[in-house]
Structure 1
Amino acid sequence: MEGPTSREPETVLETDRLLLRPWRVSEAAVQREMWAERDPRVPPHRRIDPQGRPTIEDIEGWIRGQSRSGSLALLAAERKGSGDVVGYCGLIANTHGQDDEPELAYELLRRAWGQGYATEAARAVLGWAHESGYRRLWATVRAWNVASLGVLAKLGFAETGRVERDEAHGDLLFLAKRL
């Protein structure tokens, strides 16, 4: 069986202030900085472990293994003009429900908080999701993450009433949005 004769174009989304595009291996340190900055209430598998993992080398491997096209991807959020990457935004497979209803995911470096980048990037990703044929998106967020809940409210996500109780890390709320 023959493979495709041409590659799909890379996914690149543009907003007024951001380019959302595939990660570059040279940006692994940015991802590791996000891991290091995470709130201590974030579950341990999403923080740097006592052995220092993930390392920059681990993250470089993850970036090399990512698809550079398609409708499921976490895209680097690069500020136009300066070219610095301040976080990511994209769609991931929904491990909590329907396969054809992905989850919106975003995270920013602390120095980029409070400037509207998460909302701006997520709006672009919502458009991309709609163009990709998705009719509903999910988002999960810890109840203590008031800033993220605010972003999701601005985007029109509504709480579904589903909650995974977690005394150690904070309850996980499930939100959804019809596109």
Structure 2
Amino acid sequence: MSSADHTPREPRLGTPRLVLRPWRPSESPVLRELWSERDPRVPPHRRIGDDGSPTVEQLAQSILSHPPTSLGLLAVELAENGEVIGYCGLADGARPGPGEPELAFELLRRHWDRGYATEASHAVLGWARSSGHRRLWATVWDWNSASRRVLAKLGFAETGERELDASGGTSLLLVRQL
């Protein structure tokens, strides 16, 4: 058996319009653009800082230092032309416990309102199920009505748990059984 037989397979998911796959360092400008487009209510540590960080170079280094696994935020690319438009995937959520990842997605604003977030998330739900996960979590700001609609379409239900952040508002915790 060769050493290639022991290399973990990189996740690659597909839908009729999208391909979800690991990020490439050369795509770090897309991540930087996502950071720059974030709503001003998003806490400062998730936006471009006064010092300009994260830079494109810092984001490229982050991609290199996080190899793909059964968890991860995958690049979402348009199948028709290969343009990367955002990310969707599974994050190792801080709650509720180990083995229950969090669904996360974010798309460039110019690609909103086309159903891409819902479509990509459906593919990730299938990935989670086939990876043996039984439940997923999601957190969303109470003011983020678009993401709340996506999560509702996916079958996530609010748990009633809320977390107040002085700079961002109230974050809601949602759950979905697989």
TM-score (norm 2): 0.96
How well do the aligned residues superpose, as a CA RMSD in angstroms? 1.2
Partner of 1:127: 126
Partner of 1:56: 56
Matched, 1:90 2:89: yes
Matched, 1:38 2:49: no
Deviations 1:1-27 (CA, angstroms, capped at 9, x unpaired): xx8863111110000100000001110
**What does 1:134-149 correspond to in 2, within 5 Å?**
134-149=133-148
The one-letter amino acid paired with 2:121 is A
Partner of 1:172: 171
Deviations 1:96-119 (CA, angstroms, capped at 9, x unpaired): 211111000000000110000000
Partner of 1:71: 70
Partner of 1:20: 20
CA–CA distance in 2 between the matches of 1:5 and 1:122?
29
The one-letter amino acid paired with 1:13 is L
Give SS of 1:99's match: coil
The one-letter amino acid paired with 2:107 is L
The count of residues paired between Structure 1 and Structure 2 equals: 176
Dislocated runs of 4+, deviation >6 Å: none
Deviations 1:151-175 (CA, angstroms, capped at 9, x unpaired): 0000000000100022431100000
The one-letter amino acid paired with 1:7 is T
Partner of 2:106: 107
Deviations 1:112-134 (CA, angstroms, capped at 9, x unpaired): 10000000000000000000000
Per-residue deviation at 1:85? 0.2
Per-residue deviation at 1:87? 0.3
Q: Structure 1 residues 164-173 or 133-142, which shifts more?
A: 164-173
CA–CA distance in 1 between the matches of 2:165 and 2:62?
28
Structure 1 residues not aligned, in runs of 5+:
none
Structure 2 residues not aligned, in runs of 5+:
none
Give SS of 2:54's match: coil
Matched, 1:116 2:115: yes
Indicate conservation of the 8 Å contact 2:77/2:85, yes or no. Answer: yes
User: Identity of aligned pairs, percent?
Assistant: 56
Per-residue deviation at 1:71? 1.4
Indicate conservation of the 8 Å contact 2:42/2:167, yes or no. Answer: no
